[in-house]
Amino acid sequence: MEMIQIVGLGLMATVLILVIREQKPMFAFLLAAFTGLFIFLFMIGKIEAVITVLEGLADRSGIPTIYLKTILKIIGIAYIAEFGAQIVRDAGQESIASKIEFAGKVLILVMAIPIISVIIETVLGLLPAGG
């Protein structure tokens, strides 16, 4: 039962953070960051299994691997950006958090451009000549 472990961990860490925040807010912030990292690392092993299955499916259906790679990269960027932004937001730096999210969006857009261009080429190929 991983879920119970995660919830217990979160509750325990929250109580500890509440205790420490009175004395040293710096340590409370680091403890919050550590707990977040811990839960993320705990879960990333599960994601790995899902991605292995996805790769197998893509191999069998003959989808070019570049598409799957791009999508996985986008998912990775989204996770990292969200994580970093939330930790920074916890520390009270709302503006830096929005910039991190903005950078994540731009990078995702850059990654997606090859796929978008392929889609547009396909659509143009479907149109009748001279259209």
Partner 1 sequence: MNLDVSAIFQIAGIGIIVAMIHTVLKQMGKEDMAHWVTLIGFVIVLFMVVRLLNDLFQEIKTIFLFQ
Q: Is residue 37 a contact point for partner 1 (CB under 8 A)?
A: yes
Distance CA 103, CA 85 (A): 10
Using CB under 8 A as the binding rule, the residues of this chain from 41 to 100 that contact partner 1 are 41-42, 44-45, 47-48, 51, 69, 72-73, 75-77, 79-80
CB of residue 121 vs partner 1: minimum separation in angstroms?
A: 25
Q: How far apart are the first and last CA of the chain?
A: 59
Q: Is residue 31 a contact point for partner 1 (CB under 8 A)?
A: yes
Q: Looking at residue 130, what DSSP letter applies? A: T
Q: Is residue 110 a contact point for partner 1 (CB under 8 A)?
A: no
Q: Looking at residue 50, what DSSP letter applies? A: H
Q: Is residue 27 a contact point for partner 1 (CB under 8 A)?
A: yes
